[in-house]
Amino acid sequence: MRLGIIACTALKPELDHLLKSIPEAAEVIYLDAAQHCYPQKMLERLREEIRLLGERVDAVFLGYGFCQSLRGIDEEFDFPVILPQVDDCISLLLTPERYAEEVRREVGTWFMPPGWTEIGAHMVIKELKLDRAIRYGRDPMEMARRLFTHYRRGLFIDTGVGDRKVFLDKALAFCKDFGLTLECTTADTTLLAAWLRKARTGTELGGKRRQGKTVIGETRA
pLDDT tens for 113-151 read 999 998 777 777 766 677 776 677 777 777 778 778 889
C-alpha distances out from residue 94 to 75, 149, 181, 182, 193, Å: 26, 25, 20, 17, 13
Does a structural domain hold residue 108? Answer: yes
Tell whether 201 and 141 lie within a shared domain: no
Tell whether 198 and 174 lie within a shared domain: no
**Domain interval for residue 164:** 96-186
Tell whether 208 and 172 lie within a shared domain: no
Tell whether 26 and 74 lie within a shared domain: yes
Q: Does pTM top 0.95 for this prediction?
A: no
Does a structural domain hold residue 74? Answer: yes
Mean pLDDT of 177-189: 94
The count of domains in the chain is 2
Tell me the C-alpha distance between 9 and 212, whole Å: 35
Does a structural domain hold residue 220? Answer: no
Mean pLDDT of 94-103: 96
Tell whether 65 and 123 lie within a shared domain: no
Mean pLDDT of 11-15: 96
Tell whether 67 and 105 lie within a shared domain: no
Tell whether 167 and 121 lie within a shared domain: yes
For residue 32, give the CATH number of its domain: 3.40.50
Does a structural domain hold residue 103? Answer: yes
C-alpha distances out from residue 204 to 7, 61, 208, 213, Å: 21, 13, 7, 15
Does a structural domain hold residue 218? Answer: no
Tell whether 143 and 160 lie within a shared domain: yes
Confidence of residue 168 (pLDDT cuts 50, 70, 90): very high
| Sign of torsion over alpha carbons 110, 117, 172, 144 | negative
Tell whether 108 and 119 lie within a shared domain: yes
Tell whether 152 and 194 lie within a shared domain: no
Does a structural domain hold residue 219? Answer: no
Q: How many helices (H) and strands (E) does the chain have?
A: 9, 7
Tell whether 137 and 198 lie within a shared domain: no
Does a structural domain hold residue 221? Answer: no
